[in-house]
Amino acid sequence: MKVYQRVLVTGASRGLGAALVRALRERGYSVMSVARSEGELRREIDLLPASQRERADFRVCDLADPRAAAALVDSVQAHFGDFDVLINNAGAGSFKPLVQWSADELAAGLHLNLLAPMLLARAVLPGMMARRHGMIVNIASDLARRPLANMAPYVAAKHGLLGFSSSLLREVKAHGIKVSAVLPGIIDSAFDGAVPGSKDEAWALKCDALAGRIVDLIELPGSMVIDELAIHPLHQDF
Ligand code: NAP
C-alpha cells in the first residue's frame, strides 16, 4: 500500500542505497538521491526510461561535513518540495585497530554515520510534523546490537544510531511520524573496499533483495510501524 510519495535516499550511488533507489522508482516513488559520486548518480538517472526520469533527481553532498549536511535539506526542499520519507543509508567503516585512527578520521566517521542522520532528521521533521505525515528510516547494522573488535568507532556510531532512532520514534509518533531502524547483517556491497557480487548469498544479503524488504517497511498501513528490522543471511554467524 502506497502511503508516501517523495523519498530522499542518502548513500545512493552504489550498494544498498542504489538498490533502494531502483526499488522505489520501480514502485512509482519520486526519489532524490544523495552521495558524493556525481558521475554514478547522474548515470543512474540517464539510464531511466523517460517516464521515470521526471520523478528522479540527485544532489552531491559529503555527509561527513556537518555544514554540507545541514545545507543539503534546504537546497533540496527548495527544488523538490517536502519529503515524505528520509532514508539515512549513507555509511562507511574500516576494519582497523583504534590506535590507527587519526582524530580527524574519527570525527569524519561519527559525522557521517551518526551526526548526518540527526541533522537530516532535524531538518525534515518540522515539515513532516506540520503535515502529520512522514517517515524516517535509519540504516544501522546488526553491529548496533553487538561488539566487533577492530571496528569500535563504526560499532559505536551504529549503537548510537539505533538509540537515536528508538528514542526519536517515541518523540514524534504522536505527531503522525514513524521512525524505523534497519539492522542488516553482512551485505554483498562495496563496503570497506569489498568487491560487490563476490559473496555467496548464503552468508551475505543481496542489495536488491534487502532493498525490497526496506521499501515494504514504508508501505505498511499508516497505523503500523516496524520500529526495528533485523535481517540476516541465514548462514551468517550472528
Ligand atoms: P557501500 O556500497 O560502501 O555504499 C555506501 C554509500 O554511502 C555509497 O553510496 C557512498 O557514496 C555513500 N557515502 C559514503 N561516504 C559518504 C559521504 N561522506 N557522504 C555522502 N555519502 C557517502 O556500502 P553499503 O553496504 O551499501 O552500506 C549501506 C549502509 O548499510 C551503510 O549505512 C552501512 O553502514 C550499512 N551496513 C552495511 C553492511 C555491510 O556488510 N556492507 C552491513 C550492515 C549495515 P559515495 O562514495 O559516492 O559518497
Cα–Cα nearest to 52, from 21, 78, 76: 21
Q: What is the pLDDT of residue 76?
A: 81
Q: How is domain 6-231 classified at the CATH fold level?
A: Rossmann fold (3.40.50)
Task: Give how far Cα 112 sits from Cα of 90, 163, 199, Å.
Answer: 7, 16, 26
Distance CA(82)–CA(191), nearest Å, equals: 30
Beta bridge partners of residue 135, listed in sequence order? 85, 178
Q: What is the pLDDT of residue 78?
A: 81
In a mutational test of the pocket of ligand 1, which residue from 9, 14, 120, 203 has the highest number of ligand atoms less than 8 Å from its CB? 14
98 neighbors 82 (Cβ within 8 angstroms): no
User: What is the average per-residue pLDDT within 16-24?
Assistant: 97
Residue range 201-224, pLDDT digits in tens: 999 999 999 999 999 999 999 999
- Domain assignments of the chain as residue spans, ordered by start: 6-231
91 lines ligand 1 (CB under 6 A): yes
Distance CA(138)–CA(117), nearest Å, equals: 7
The pTM for the full model equals 0.98
Residue range 37-74, pLDDT digits in tens: 999 999 999 999 988 898 999 999 999 998 998 889 88
Q: What is the pLDDT of residue 62?
A: 97
In a mutational test of the pocket of ligand 1, which residue from 21, 87, 187 has the highest number of ligand atoms less than 8 Å from its CB? 187
Beta bridge partners of residue 65, listed in sequence order? none
223 CA → ligand 1 middle, Å: 30
Residue type, 140: A
Cα–Cα nearest to 12, from 53, 55, 57: 57
88 neighbors 179 (Cβ within 8 angstroms): no
Residue range 148-177, pLDDT digits in tens: 999 999 999 999 999 999 999 999 999 999
124 neighbors 73 (Cβ within 8 angstroms): yes
52 CA → ligand 1 middle, Å: 24
Share of the chain above pLDDT 90, in %: 90
Q: What is the pLDDT of residue 81?
A: 72
Average pLDDT, the chain: 96
Active site residue 4: no
186 lines ligand 1 (CB under 6 A): yes
Q: b/e map of 16-41 (b: 16 or more CB within 10 Å)? A: bbbbbbbbbbeeebbbbbbbbeeeeb
89 lines ligand 1 (CB under 6 A): yes
- Which ligand 1 atom sits closest to the C-alpha of 112? 18
Distance CA(74)–CA(101), nearest Å, equals: 33
180 lines ligand 1 (CB under 6 A): no
